[in-house]
Amino acid sequence: MTFAAHLLVSTNPSDDYAVLGEVPCSTPDEVQAAVDAARAAQPGWAGLSLQQRSAAVESFTAVCEQHAEQINQLIAAETGRPIRNTRGGTTAGLDYLRRYSDLAARYLEPHISAQDEHLVQRIHREPWGVIAVICPWNFPFLNVAWSCGPALLAGNTVVYKNSEENPLFTQLLARLVAQSDLPAGVLTTVIGGAQVGHLLVTSGVDKITFTGSVETGRALTALAAQQFIPITTELGGSSPGLVFQDVEVSEELAHDIFWKRFLHSGQICDAIKRLIVHESLAQPLTHALVEVAARQRLGDAREESTDLGPLVAHRQVQRIEEQVADALERGATVHCGGRRPEGLRGAYYEPTILTGITPDMRVWREETFGPVLPIVTFTTEQEALQLANDTTYGLSAYVFTNDADRFARCAQALRVGGVGQGTTSIFDPNSPFGGWKASGLGRTNGEEGFHAITQTKLIATQR
């Protein structure tokens, strides 16, 4: 992404950064106007019944479904996410939006906390008011569903800012909102980079929801504290995958691990970013993963035959190159990849598998937000857990074992927000998602997610 005056220039990372379009950044007055519109709309929106709000959100969902392929093609072009995978993300977002309506009725319903012959105490959930939502580029539509759906159903209004990497998507989102039955001001958008984000969160909002980097998350948390408003953050991850000796090295296992790491060229927060393998399986599993990598087609994200697309921007390629170069200088071995592919012009980097990893290497200490998988070995379960927890992050972990007792021990010992047995999904609208340590504060989805976007009010009545 490049900036020209007060424009965001959207480029195609699959096609030598060809310009897709230019979008004006929101001015300070426009940011404040968006917040003011959300403030004016919020009482009326909250005053509707949940059924009425659900109907309006469903109308937005239906409009998005009608334009799903337009959404998909734009995401693929603007972010480099392969079109087949993009479609899956949009479908999931539509499903989440629809399922949230049923969950809202359950999780927002007042309930009795105490009672006797004289009184009844009930806990009510009420909206915060205006929520500033800032999201990244890697799951554009799904992020809208996760961050905006429950907030809107609970009676909040939302001012939404997506990453500066895909301003055309934000522009399209605004048009889709306008075609729906959502009242004016209930879901508004602003466009820009860090400066616009700063303006948004300091323009009188009642809560911040942020998904993105640790550095930005810390800065926004400080701004929230200064204003004494709440914030929910879902930040980076360096999720471990632990492979124990009781599993069989098979093509299916290698396939599952490969895609849990390399889907969307590894640009996923909860992807396996460090593979921790029992020493008896390291050689055959590494070989099997290299074979899977060799079968994937790297190319233009808009083409149906593409398995792996580019990274989102040139700067992401440069960072991955620096991390891999650091590993090689310190003694790591490349089994595949480790370079930009020949014959492709754009933000491409080959799927890369490294062994000989040591704790001082950047690929171990930092989040690798790209197609790089470092592999380390262990001898004992205790050693595996120590390696897994050797990170400032704590988003998720995946344990490959057929031993139920071992999985239970590992799940308890891992300092993360979610643990899956193998690549079992840890995602569902009913289940909270979020991280420990530097991976964030608070949760989205599930009962905890609905409670994060509402305030608690106790009402005591006489019998």
β-bridge partners, 239: 272
* Active-site annotation holds for 269: yes
CA distance 56 to 100: 13
Say what the alpha-carbon torsion angle 137, 61, 188, 133 is, to the nearest 10 degrees. Answer: -50
Q: How many CA atoms lie within 13 A of 392 on its CB side?
A: 10
Would you put residue 19 in left (φ > 0), alpha (ψ -120 to 50) or beta?
beta
Could you count the other beta carbons within 10 Å of the beta carbon of residue 315? Answer: 11
β-bridge partners, 336: 353
Q: How many CA atoms lie within 13 A of 90 on its CB side?
A: 25
β-bridge partners, 210: 134, 233
Q: Catalytic residue among 234, 366, 367, 381, which?
A: 234
Q: Catalytic residue among 165, 269, 367, 381, which?
A: 269
**What residues are labeled active site?**
234, 269
